[in-house]
Structure 1
Amino acid sequence: MSAAATSPETTPGPSENRRIVLLRHAKADWPEVPDIERPLADRGRKDAPVAGRRIAGMGISPDLTLCSTAARTRETWKLVVHELPQRPKTVYEDRLYEASLGELIALLNETPDDVKDLMVIGHNPGMHALADALAGAADADALARMQRKGFPTAAIAVVGFHGSWKSVEHGVGKLLDYWTPHE
């Protein structure tokens, strides 16, 4: 991954506060195609822009988005990004499809330190496992909702942490927010 160009005045240092926005793809359809080619269902095409508005409403403007190469994640991103205040650099990442928790953390560790806010668009069970693993602390309400609802399609978890991307590991962050489109 290469970093987006930023000026020295705006480049976060390795000890900056950072946020990871974890977004599960919106609801997919089940046509007779390979899993990686499944498109969004009608509900998914309605939920994805709502998720984008929610992210924008949280005041988050990602510096970088990592998006799985699956059709449903790419389509989700296409609908989400139109709701954000600016389009971040986007990397379509093959390794996000069917990624294990360890592989997801390894991807986060590769993020350049000039990225303050990172969005990851992927699949379950990985997105839920990652949100759960990173959250050493949590806003009690957000944690209760995530435990009660799981991580349905178009769910968003925001995890904050302090430090370098290379320091991301289990328990490093705080679950700041959790949202689903059908709360």
Structure 2
Amino acid sequence: MSVDTPRRIVLLRHAKADWPEVSDHERPLAERGRMDASVAGRRLAETGIAFDLALCSTSARTRETWKLVVHELPHRPKTVYEERLYDATLGDLLALLNEIPDEVNDLLLVGHNPTVHALADALSGDSEGDSVGRMTRSGFPTAAFAVITFDGTWKSVEHRVGKLVDFWAPHD
């Protein structure tokens, strides 16, 4: 892969979770979350992005979100359930992106706020249309996703390397 290889990162926040008497890691999706995750999956399918890899946090709500999203996609990418995505810092996520193999062009990351929003902000040096305004106004709600493009290797991912080309939230 050359340095100029175009790549895409899609950052998806898990759908709305319920609050039963379980640990935070084991919280399942609420009914609204299950509906929103399916809608997000259909909207992701409409983007036409054929993901090479999906990284998903190990929490119950992210795994359940991913199960509902991937059901709507025309192609099931390789999926890695990554413990480091749960309770990650912005630095953790940047380090994780730097480890992605260069054979991967299109990556989906299913994670948690506030870090997913922070990563979208950090990577977006530029934006198309009102995508950054919509992301900022919405606060990156549950089941929302941001699509960021960049050129180069995964090892070159750093602040302001990308362009926010799309932002979608289920109740906008």
- 1:84-99 equivalent positions in 2, closer than 5 A: 84-99=73-88
Residue 17 (1) aligns with residue 6 (2): yes
Runs of 4 or more consecutive aligned structure 1 residues displaced over 2 Å after TM superposition: 12-15
Residue 99 of structure 1 deviates from its aligned partner by: 0.4
Q: TM-score, normalised by structure 2?
A: 0.98
- 1:21-170 equivalent positions in 2, closer than 5 A: 21-170=10-159
Residue 14 of structure 1 deviates from its aligned partner by: 4.3
Q: TM-score, normalised by structure 1?
A: 0.92
Indicate which of 146, 170, 175 corresponds to 2:164.
175
Cα separation, 2, equivalents of 1:40 and 1:128? 20
Query: Deviations for 1:94-148, whole angstroms, at most 9, x for unmatched residues?
Result: 0000100000000000000000000000000010000000000011310110111
Cα separation, 1, equivalents of 2:154 and 2:133? 27
Whether the aligned pair in 2 keeps the contact of 1:13 and 1:113 (CA below 8 Å) is no
Query: Deviations for 1:9-46, whole angstroms, at most 9, x for unmatched residues?
Result: xxx54431000000000000000000000000000000
State the aligned residue count. 172
Q: Note the residue ranges of structure 2 that are not aligned, 5 or more in a row.
A: none
Residue 58 of structure 1 deviates from its aligned partner by: 0.8
- % identical aligned pairs: 70
Q: Note the residue ranges of structure 1 that are not aligned, 5 or more in a row.
A: 1-11
